[in-house]
Amino acid sequence: MKKVIHTENAPKAVGPYSQAIETNGMLFISGQIPIDPATGKFVEGGIKEQTTQVMKNIGAILTAAGYCYSDVVKSTCLLADMADFAAMNEVYGSFYTENPPARAAYGVVKLPLGALVEIETIAVKS
């Protein structure tokens, strides 16, 4: 049975999808972009600020579903410019200081609403 996860502490979906779906002890978080849920707008700054906001949004969804960063097993990072990889990686790594999840990172032509980074996440209850 699947359960839709929604929290006001993360941005509302900008399309026909859920923030996250939980099923069989697994949590699938939709790609998060750097929208501050308090303002509904992108955070100011560059890739580091945007990645920080994306990771905070992921954290809010994890918390709402009863998970934490240590439960994350896989992330997919999408970058509008692969030149931003090192800076994104620095911020991303600060959220996973021990036993980081598996990950893929791709450069893409465009991201929703002009974001510099989007990250989707899968977590599993241990």
pLDDT tens track for 56-112: 999 999 999 999 999 999 999 999 999 999 999 999 999 999 999 999 999 999 999
Enumerate the domain spans of the chain.
Answer: 2-124
Determine the average pLDDT of the residues in 8-19: 92
**Count of C-beta atoms within a 10 Å radius of residue 21:** 16
Q: Are 25 and 125 in contact (CB under 8 A)?
A: yes
Q: What secondary structure does DSSP assign to 34-94, as a single string?
A: SEETTTTEEPSSSHHHHHHHHHHHHHHHHHHTT--GGGEEEEEEEES-GGGHHHHHHHHHH
Q: According to the model, what pLDDT value does residue 13 have?
A: 86
- For the domain covering 2-124, report its CATH number: 3.30.1330.40
The pTM assigned to this predicted structure is 0.96
Q: What is the pLDDT of residues 18-29, one digit of tens each?
A: 999 999 999 999
